[in-house]
Chain A
Amino acid sequence: MAVRRRPLLAKIAMHLGLVPFLLFAVFPFYFMALTSLKTDRELYDREAVPLLIRQGPTLEHYKTLIWETGFLTWTKNSLLVTILATTVSVVIGTIAAYALARLRFFGVGPFGTGIFVTYLVPTSLLFLPLAQVVHWLGLADSKWALVVTYPTFLVPFCTWLLMGYFRTVPKEVEECAMVDGATRLQALMRIVLPIAIPGLVCAVLFAFTLSWNEFIYALTFTSSSEEITASVGITQELIRGDIYFWGGLMAGAVLGSVPIVILYVFFLDYYVSGLTAGAVK
C-alpha cells in the first residue's frame, strides 16, 4: 500500500492512535523492571503510588537472586540446552531444506508435507508420551532430555524457513559452478550457503529464541534444581510460602529475559522478517 503524505495534524493523530498499543505492549516490562528495583518497604506499602520509585531504587532483589538461589545454575542449563539444540537443529534443518528446495528424489513431496505438518504440531499435544520416551532413553530429570527433544519443533521450523530462502537463490548460479567442475556439495558450501546467510541468521535467532522460551517440555522432563532451565527455575523455585517474594520474582523474570533482549536489540530486522516468513512463505 502506498505510504501517503499526510498533513501534520493527521500525522499527530496517527501517533496518538498508537499510544494505547505501545502502552499495552511495553507497560508490563516497565512494571516488572520497576518492581524488581523497589525496596520491600515501598513494594508492600498500599498507600504508595505503584507506578514510580519514590524511596530510592535497590539492587537487593538481584543480589539475593544471584547469590542465594540456583539462578546461575538454571541460566547455565538454559544456555547449554539452547546452544546445543540450536546448533543441531540448524544443521539438520539446513540440509533438509536444501534437499526439499533443490533436489528431485523419491518421496520429496510427502516429506515436505510431513515437515509442514510437524511444524504445526503444538508441544502440548505430545508432552505426555514424550516424557515416557525420555524415561526410556535414561534421560529422566536431565537437561539432556531437552537437547534431544527441542529439535522436534526446531527442525521443522528451520527447514520451513530456510526452504523459502533457498528457493530465492537462482538455480543458474549453482549450475554455473557445477559446470565449472564443482561438485554439488562444493556448490552448496561455497555458493548457496553464503547467499542464504540472512536466512541462516534468521533460523539461528528463531531457534535460539524458541528454545530459550520453551516451557512445557522443560517443566515436564526436568525437576531437580541442578537440571532445570531458567524459565522453570524462576516460575517454580522462587515462589515462597509468604507473600514477600515479588521483588525477587520480578528480578528473575527480568534477568531471565536478558539474553533474548540482547539478541533482539541487535537483530530486530531479522526478527521482523523471520516472523512473516515463518507463517506466510
Chain B
Amino acid sequence: MAIGHVSVRPAVPRPRLRIRELLDRERFLGPAFVSPALLLIVLLVAYPFCMALYFALSNSFIGRPSHFVGLSNFVALWESDAFRQTFQNGFVFTGAAVGLKLVLGISLALLLNEQLWFKRMIRGAVLMPWVIPTALSTLGWWWMFNSLYSVVNWTGIALGLLDPPGPNWLGQKYYAMTAVVAVNVWRGLPFFAITILAGLVSIPSEMYEAAEADGAGAGARFWHITLPMLKPVLAIVVLFSTIFTFSDFNIVYVLTHGGPINSTHLFATLARQIGLESGQIGQGAAISLYLFPVLVLVVWGQLTFVRRQAN
C-alpha cells in the first residue's frame, strides 16, 4: 500500500523549474519581453496623448481647475494672428528646408560615392552637424548671425557679395526665416546624404554598363537609372524628415525665439510660449496637436510604402 502510494504520487516540479519552462514557451516569453516597452508606451506616450486631447478641448490654465470647452481653443487660435502666421511658417519652413536638403543631399551623395582621397575624414566631417547637440551648435550660428559682429556678413562683404553693413539676419522677417531654414538644412543634410549614399551603393553597376553601351550620357543615366532606382530611399528619407522638420523646436527656440514678430514661430515653439510661458495649457496643447495630422500622414506613407516593398 505504502509503496503503491509513492508510485502514484505525481512528481511536483520545483517552482523555479516551472518558471524556466514557461520562459521557454514563445507564448509566455514574447509578452514577458515586450511588457516593459509596452508599459512605457502606454503610460508615457499613449496616456499623455489622451491628456493632450483633453487639454485641447478644455480651458486648462496652470494652477486652475479646468472645464470642457469644446473646440473653442481651436476657434480662438484661428482668430489669432500669431497662430495663423505660425501655421504659414510651418509649411514654408518645412517645404523650403526639406526641398533644399533633398537637392543638396542627392548632390552630396553623388560626390561621396566617387573614389575620394581621405574618404573617412570627409565622411566624418560631413556627418558632424548631425551628431553635435543641436541646441549648442545653434548657439554658434546665433553668434555667426549676430547683428554687430556677424561673420557671415563680414565674409559676404569681403567677397563683394553683400553691401556693407549687410542684413540684420535675425532682426528682419525674411532674413530670419532664411537663417532658420539654413541652420535646419545644415543640421539635416548629413542624414539625407548618408542615407541616399547607401541607396546609391546598392544600385547594380551592370545597369550603368548596359546604359553606357547603349550610348546614354551622364545626364541620361542619372535621370533614367539613378533617380528611379533611388525612389524608395528618397521617399522614406523625405517622409522621415518631414515629420522631424515640421516639429522642429531647438533651432527656432535658440536662434530667434519665434521672432521678429512671430515670423519664425513653428508649432512647437508657439505651443511652448502659449502653453508654458503664458500658462494656457489648453491652447498650447491644441497647437501641439496640429503636428498630429502630419504624423498620421507620414506613418501612413511609411507603412504603405514598407508593405509595398515587402511584397
- A→B interface (CB under 8 Å): 1-6, 11, 14-15, 17-18, 21-22, 24-26, 28-29, 31-32, 35, 43-44, 46, 50-51, 92-93, 95-96, 98-100, 103-108, 111, 113-118, 120-133, 148-149, 151-152, 155-156, 159, 183-185, 209, 212-213, 215-216, 219-220, 230-232, 234-235, 243, 246, 249-250, 252-253, 256-257, 260-261, 264-265, 268, 271-272, 275-276, 279-280
Contact = CB atoms under 8 A, between A and B. Distances in A.
Given A130-B44, A183-B23, A18 B122 contact: yes
Nearest to A185: B23
B137 to A, nearest CB: 6
Instruction: Classify the interface of chain A: helix, strand, loop or mixed.
Output: helix
A279 B249 CA distance: 21
B135 A125 contact: no
- Number of chain B interface residues as a range: 35 or more
Contacts of B186: 24-25, 28
B276 interface: yes
A81 B169 CA distance: 36
Given A213-B134, A215-B134, A235-B254, A253 B29 contact: no
B123 A272 contact: yes
A199 B70 CA distance: 47
B29 A231 contact: no
B114 A6 contact: yes
Across the A-B interface, give the 10 residue pairs with the lowest CB-CB distance, nearest first.
Answer: A105-B30, A2-B205, A124-B268, A122-B247, A129-B51, A99-B33, A129-B48, A103-B30, A32-B140, A96-B37
Instruction: Classify the interface of chain B: helix, strand, loop or mixed.
Output: helix
Given A3-B114, A11-B115, A264-B124, 18 more contacts: A3-B115, A18-B108, A21-B189, A28-B186, A31-B144, A105-B29, A116-B299, A128-B275, A129-B55, A152-B40, A159-B37, A231-B133, A246-B143, A250-B143, A264-B128, A275-B191, A276-B194, A276-B198
Contacts of A29: 128, 132, 137, 140
A260 B243 CA distance: 25
Contact of A249 (B26, B113, B134, B143): B143
A260 B131 contact: yes
B213 interface: no
Contact of A128 (B28, B246, B276): B276
